[in-house]
Homo-oligomer: A and B are copies of this chain.
Amino acid sequence: MRCVAALSVAALIAAGLLLRRRRRRQATAALLASPHTGGVAYLAAAYREATLTPSDAVEHCLAAIAALDGTVGAFEQVYAEEAREQARAATAALRSSSALPLFHGIPFALKDLVDVEGRVTTAGSAARRRHVATRTATVARRLLANGGILLGKVKTVEFAAGAWGINPRMGSPRNPWDAAVHRVAGGSSSGSGAAVGARLVPCALGTDTGGSVRLPAAFCGVVGVKTTEGLLPLDGVTPLSHTLDTAGALAVCVADAALMLDAMLPPRLAARARHLAAAAEGAARGVAGLRLAVAGEADRRALADARLLRAYDAALGRLRAAGAALAPLELSLVSLAASNGLICFAEGYCHHKSLVDDAAAPLDESVRARLREAGHAPAHAYVEAMLGRRPAAERFLAELDGCAALLLPAAPMLPPPLEQVDPASACSLFTRAANYLGLCAVSVPTRLTAPTEDEPALPTAVQVICRPNDEATAIRVAAAVEAACGLEGALPPLAYPPLRARSR
């Protein structure tokens, strides 16, 4: 995989090692020659080698957006001029300083749930088209402080209250893996998944309350990191559930997501580039010797699509072949989905009550119904769902004993055509438990399905679930999974422009 090569470059930089100029040039040339261009670690390496500048990267993104976003529909707002200006400054800084963060000059997008001072945050709601933020969310400030270039805001399900990526009023981004049929991108971070999947931007911030980072990642064939509750601050992020919301990173490969995550951590932690290092370790060491828990019978039965079950088993087969020891975890995680959903939507009702209860407010009626129903569930059901979290987490951690991670499917189905989705159904069966149990998880794309007459090749995904605050292990294992059964650099069938150096 290309990304692993990009990773090695960035990881070596992170470790303070310098490759010799000749070897570096070779690595860069190999990457530039590939179609799988423009990733985070790749750009970080290219900037240091002076083969590309931040202005090149921003122009490339803007060109890709201009060429493709009419089809993809991922962006809510593009901040073209401001991004160009930031890119010029970042380019100049690169020339004058050698001690810049790895995220320096990296274009990124924010889910339009995240406040940026002076910009509108719609939170996916037509009712908030004029909702100008008066401050910048801490996560966004950290990405900017680390040199990131804000390219724009990407679409979301209204108030993040849904997992299909559908938003009738504000737009449902198109899954980039089907050029013929509008398939859903998954969501609520639908714009983040579609934008990164279509290679319009190297990485994007998403939020995950029941799967909303991992599902668009799975549907769009990118990596999504759902962080542990509390790891990243949520000030300035429109809440759905103050209990379960988490911010996360979407990117093309594990190393890129790790690098973005590092850039969102508080400075003290970010300086250690610990997740990027974990990704490098995972890519280098693979799964040999790792003991991994896998879906038990109850969870396997919940995986309705036989093709996905085959894909999951094929991925596990590759991991076993690569030296992992696999052990089924019989505790059904799928059974926890309902409790998570109740907490999530009951709290969401409280946060958006004034709009939900205003019949004249232009809301997606399926979102309105979902929030209202949970808000009017009996209090004891909510309290019991909350009380159940700790014992359930203790049971899970006991079951996981001796395993580095639990590998589950990320989604129970392939990304369906938009028109076939019943918004009242759920695609978050396999993701909600990680929020409920307070865990971290990474969704990693695995091999594409074989195309049929009716359906193109579509990505499948495995979810690497780890203990709370053990993102380093999740990323290390995810990188190993990616190395063993990743997408192998396959690209969506979109005619996007190749990345070229223009500004030199």
Interface residues in chain A, defined as those with a beta carbon under 8 Å from any beta carbon in chain B: 242, 342, 346-347, 349-350, 353, 374-384, 387
Contacts and interface: CB of A to CB of B under 8 A. Distances in A.
B380 A378 contact: no
Given A342-B379, A350-B384, A375-B378, 16 more contacts: A346-B379, A346-B383, A347-B383, A349-B379, A350-B380, A350-B387, A374-B379, A375-B380, A376-B378, A376-B379, A376-B380, A377-B378, A377-B379, A378-B378, A379-B382, A382-B382
A379 to B, nearest CB: 4
10 contacts: A242-B387, A342-B379, A346-B379, A349-B380, A350-B384, A353-B380, A375-B380, A376-B378, A379-B382, A382-B382
A374 to B, nearest CB: 7
Contacts of A381: 379
Nearest to A383: B350
A241 to B, nearest CB: 10
A376 B347 CA distance: 17
Contacts of A378: 375-379
A377 B350 CA distance: 14
A374 B378 CA distance: 9
A342 B380 CA distance: 11
Contacts of A377: 378-379
A93 B303 CA distance: 67
Across the A-B interface, the 9 shortest Cβ-Cβ residue pairs? A375-B380, A379-B382, A346-B379, A350-B383, A377-B379, A376-B378, A379-B379, A349-B380, A350-B380
A52 to B, nearest CB: 47
A425 to B, nearest CB: 22
A346 B375 CA distance: 15
Contacts of A347: 383
A443 to B, nearest CB: 29
Q: Chain B CB within 10 Å — which of A347, A353, A378, A379 has the most?
A: A379
A350 B387 CA distance: 9
A380 B346 contact: yes
Nearest to A388: B350
A437 B375 CA distance: 24
Contacts of A346: 379-380, 383
A270 B70 CA distance: 68
A382 B347 CA distance: 10
Contacts of A384: 350
Contacts of A383: 346-347, 349-350, 375, 382
A353 B378 CA distance: 13
A449 B346 CA distance: 49
A375 B350 CA distance: 18
Contacts of A380: 346, 349-350, 353, 375-376
A242 B349 CA distance: 23
A242 B389 CA distance: 14
Contacts of A349: 379-380, 383
A376 B377 CA distance: 8
A342 B347 CA distance: 16
Nearest to A372: B380
Nearest to A371: B380
Contacts of A353: 380
